[in-house]
Amino acid sequence: MEFFITLIQVLDSTVRLATPLLLACLAGLYSERAGIFDIGLEGKMLMAAFFSAAVAAVTGSVWLGLLAGIASSLVLSGIHGLASITFRGNQLISGVAINFLAAGMTVLVAQSWFQQGGRTPSLFGGGRFVPIEFPFAESLSGVPIFGPIYSELLSGHSILVYIAFLMVPATWWILFRTRFGLRLRAVGENPAAVDTAGVSVVGLRYAAVAICGVLCGIAGAYLATALQAGFVKDMTAGRGFIALAALIFAKWRPWHAMGACLLFGLLQAIALRFQNIDLGGVVIPVQVMDALPYILTVVILAGFVGKAIPPRAGGEPYVKER
């Protein structure tokens, strides 16, 4: 029974830790499916984390914080779009620049506004997203097996967690069942064909980059106002890159993205709870758990276990023929 409680706790923590990964991963999915590589997910999340926490701290309203987070992330998306769509620059270099811009600006502005060494004041009350308790969660918690699953694992997360997981079927539906989704995927595979059909390549790509910005904004706001209570320097801690890894792991598909993010979230949850894991004599050091998402991604990229093929026009600026 003790094992079962531990399991539930680890899985609960998995869901919490997978949420920002999932949001960022889906964000990257829209962008990369439209042919815009985005290694700036990390930066956008970080920027959104700061501005959501800052605005929530000042106004006391977490919803205003969320809006501010999304807006700040959208600004970075705009820069990325400008560089990689309008000026046909190198998308990877633009992403690198955005990551640094966010890493520097957040601390700079935080120091200027709050003088607390690059962090925001701790959030409390209306400044944070509160857990949502499902109906009867309290009274059902005594029921064996089902009780803990319902009241611990499924209930008691903030609304952003449920939004993130609802985004998975929504993304699948948008990409594979709507006209917009078809065009978005087409523009990532063969933009010339989309252009010939009379649909704006530039418009579609900007739309994809904007969706990416919104989702990264939610991911960042979740980090600073739900998972933790306030912004601290570099709080994304590589999550944007793990999300990128998850995206490749999932081979740019929404449902698989959820699986990959849950897997990587589980690794984080285990690393957080157990440190070094003793498997009957063989000790797995915590660093292996930290590195595992990246190692798995390299293995997948190497194509020894099912090849990951990115959208064909990914990373290529589209030049209209004259």
- List interacting residues with another protein (CB under 8 A): 39, 79, 82-84, 87-94, 96-101, 103-109, 111-112, 115, 118, 238, 241, 244-245, 248, 285, 287-288, 290-291, 294-295, 297-298, 301-303, 310
CA distance 243 to 180: 24
Residues sharing a CB contact under 8 Å with residue 196, sequence separation 6 or more, in sequence order: none
Torsion sign, CA atoms 120, 214, 18, 108:
negative
Instruction: Kindly give the residue spans of alpha helices, DSSP state H, lying in 158-314.
Output: 159-177, 179-189, 191-196, 201-222, 239-249, 254-274, 286-302
Tokens of 87: 């000026």
DSSP annotation of 277:
E
Of 104 and 169, the one with the shorter C-beta distance to another protein is 104
CA distance 269 to 252: 24
Q: Could you report how far apart the first and last alpha carbons of the chain are, in Å?
A: 70
Helix (H, G, I), strand (E, B) or coil at 90: coil
Least distance from another protein to the Cβ atom of residue 213, Å: 16
DSSP annotation of 178:
S
CA distance 72 to 76: 7
CB 247, CB 58: distance < 8 Å: no
Least distance from another protein to the Cβ atom of residue 257, Å: 16
DSSP string, 140-176: HTTSTTHHHIIIIIISSB-HHHHHHHHHHHHHHHHHH
